[in-house]
Structure 1
Amino acid sequence: MGSGIAIWQVIILTIYSMYQIMDELTLQTSLSQPIWAGIIAGLVMGDLKTGLIIGGSLQLTVLGVGTFGGASKIDANSGTVMATAFAIGTGMKPEVAVAALGVPVASLMIQTDIVARFANTFFQHRIDKLIDEENYSGIERNYLYGYLPWTLSRGIPVFLALAFGGPFVRTAVDYMNTNLAWLSNGLATAGALLPAVGFAILLRYLPVKKHWPYLILGFVITAMLSTIYGNVTLLGTTIAGMNAKFTTVFANLPMLGIALIGFALAAMQYNRSVKESNLVAAQPKQNAGATDLDEQDGEIHGDEL
């Protein structure tokens, strides 16, 4: 196809893009997350590492992005599929693919999401009529028909882009790598910074003001362990260079260890909150008309535990 993407790869990625929106709306098995989109696209394209880099970057980018009611949000899954496929097929750097393809495609897919929602109203009105007629089999059929607009809203753009957009992407990549190297480097830097944007959005909705000591503690622990593990690895490499018999391999900083430390701190805070709640419940209120100041700070306390 002129882009390093075979027709069978286009078909599989198109089918997955159609499935992932159904999974997001109904099954919710997490296969509709960008990280899984990167894994699947990477496996199909034969480069799992690139898929993980792009999928992980876009997963972190949309970490704090959500949708409420009928609102549409960026489709990071389709963006991940296209960015991974073109990055592997054309030799584009993963960081550049995230900034130049992943995020723009994810944003453009908002329009197809809106089209799918509008198209679904046709079946919704038919179901309303069938409810009055008590036609239950017709209700079930039209419910299933509603899958068509959703799946096509993802499948058609992904198929057209992968099947016919390859030559354009390859030409653009070659031009950027030769005549616009500064732009390519800038996009790579922007792509590397996008996960920080996702964290910033997430922190905006978390009770950071109340639990800021844990935020500082987590940062310090991660920085210290990263420095220690980095120096130990460097020391091992130096010794190995001096002594050929030294074959010990030092592992890098395990992120699972950092996650377990965070889990332990969260468990401690949870137990403390439960004890405080029990004490408050056991004591009679001194002033029944008093207003809890914690309810006026604008935070969602139901999610803090």
Structure 2
Amino acid sequence: MIQWWQILLLTLYSAYQICDELTIVSSAGSPVFAGFISGIIMGDVAKGLLIGGSLQLMVLGVGTFGGASRIDATSGAVLATAFSVAKGIDPEIAISTIAVPVAALLVYTDILGRMSTTYFAHRVDAAVERFDYKGIERNYLLGAIPWAASRALPVFLALALGGTFVENLVEGVENVQWLANGLTLAGRMLPGLGFAILLHYLPVKRNAHYLALGFGLTAMLTAVYSNLSSVAGAVAGIIGEAGLETTVFSAAPFKGLPMIGIAILGAFLAVLHYKHATEVKVVAAPSNVESGEIEDDEF
């Protein structure tokens, strides 16, 4: 059962995350961060990160250019994590049955929030004409209320009233094995869909060598560290049979090393790109720009 203080904290976070996404942009409004925070509040960080990370991968290539609304994967991560932990629902089924439908439904509250802020925008315009600086500040801050309510209210209602409904829904799905298997498979495919959308908008043809490099390095590092992990496990077994205790030769520290290697390489390439961009004063427009791709100045 979800406690009242958990509902309160998750509601407050839901109100804050959208305001952060629009103003501070500290990544607190991202799905993976939502899963992390929700996991802390619910007492299962691992499950929260699994759900949040899966939804983060799903929306990698989704943007809101021109003020367009998009699916609210962040609120979906909050609710999926909360119900998954509280009701013991499998994370992959929670993603398919809770997170994705919630993310799609909250497009409507996003539109409502956008429309509501126009009232305060007109009041700001009127205050500008009167040179009323206090009025400008006041109405600007009041404009955050519709945005916060567009996320906080649905999350609160779902957490406070939807527990029994969600539990019955998931139990019904799990009783139909083929449906549960299908939803589990769909949940596993969503990160791949996110990568496909992202690659569609990135200039892959002009940077195919980087894509090949990343794939090759990932494969090689995974193989190398998998072998090291096997050796460490064997050594740990021998030491254990000898009656000695050690924590150095353990397979666990090697599990995340492939991604650490890729992260270090990515940081190096990012610094290299930044230094090159700051040194080049005039850059000619590329002649082979792919149709539909996103350029740097469009973010």
Instruction: Verify same fold: TM over 0.5.
Output: yes
Q: What is aligned with 1:200?
A: 196
Q: What is aligned with 2:263?
A: 259
SS across alignment from 2:68:
coil
Q: Judge conservation of contact 1:61–1:196 (CA < 8 Å) in 2.
A: yes
- Measure the CA separation in 2 of the matches of 1:296 and 1:226: 34
Q: 1:240 to 1:292 in 2, by over 3 A?
A: closer
Q: Judge conservation of contact 1:54–1:94 (CA < 8 Å) in 2.
A: yes
- Measure the CA separation in 1 of the matches of 2:6 and 2:126: 42
- Measure the CA separation in 2 of the matches of 1:23 and 1:210: 34
Shift of 1:130: 2.7
Q: What is aligned with 1:249?
A: 250
Q: What is aligned with 1:42?
A: 39
CA radius of gyration, larger in? 1
Instruction: Supply the AA of the counterpart residue of 1:184.
Output: A
Q: Judge conservation of contact 1:225–1:253 (CA < 8 Å) in 2.
A: no
Q: What is aligned with 1:288?
A: none
- Measure the CA separation in 2 of the matches of 1:272 and 1:122: 45
1:220-299 map, 5 Å:
220-241=216-237, 244-245=241-242, 247=246, 248-250=249-251, 251-254=254-257, 255-265=259-269, 294=287, 296-298=289-291, 299=293
Q: Judge conservation of contact 1:226–1:253 (CA < 8 Å) in 2.
A: no
Q: 1:135 to 1:274 in 2, by over 3 A?
A: closer
Shift of 1:181: 2.2
Using the size of structure 1 for normalisation, the TM-score is 0.85
- Measure the CA separation in 2 of the matches of 1:296 and 1:236: 48
Using the size of structure 2 for normalisation, the TM-score is 0.87
Number of aligned residues: 289
Q: Determine which of 120, 125, 128 is the counterpart of 2:122.
A: 125
Bigger mean CA offset, 248-257 vs 109-118: 248-257
Shift of 1:261: 2.4
Q: 1:253 to 1:48 in 2, by over 3 A?
A: closer
Shift of 1:271: 7.0
- Measure the CA separation in 2 of the matches of 1:236 and 1:292: 51
Unaligned runs of 5+ in 1: 282-290
Q: 1:49 to 1:208 in 2, by over 3 A?
A: same
Q: Determine which of 85, 97, 102 is the counterpart of 2:82.
A: 85
Is residue 65 of structure 2 the alignment partner of residue 68 of structure 1?
A: yes
Query: What is the RMSD of the two structures over their aligned residues, measured on CA atoms?
Result: 2.6
- Measure the CA separation in 2 of the matches of 1:5 and 1:68: 36
SS across alignment from 2:107:
helix
SS across alignment from 1:294:
coil
Bigger relative contact order, structure 1 or 2 (CA pairs below 8 A, ≥6 apart) = 1
- Measure the CA separation in 1 of the matches of 2:184 and 2:95: 8
Shift of 1:35: 1.2
Shift of 1:238: 4.3
Shift of 1:241: 4.2
Q: 1:136 to 1:266 in 2, by over 3 A?
A: closer
Bigger mean CA offset, 52-61 vs 244-253: 244-253
Q: Judge conservation of contact 2:18–2:29 (CA < 8 Å) in 1.
A: yes
Q: 1:271 to 1:125 in 2, by over 3 A?
A: closer
Instruction: Supply the AA of the counterpart residue of 1:22.
Output: C
- Measure the CA separation in 2 of the matches of 1:148 and 1:303: 31
Bigger mean CA offset, 153-162 vs 198-207: 198-207
- Measure the CA separation in 2 of the matches of 1:101 and 1:9: 18
Shift of 1:109: 0.7
- Measure the CA separation in 1 of the matches of 2:122 and 2:278: 48
Identity of matched residues, % = 50
Q: 1:293 to 1:232 in 2, by over 3 A?
A: closer
SS across alignment from 1:69:
helix
Is residue 111 of structure 2 the alignment partner of residue 114 of structure 1?
A: yes
Q: 1:230 to 1:70 in 2, by over 3 A?
A: same
Q: What is aligned with 1:212?
A: 208
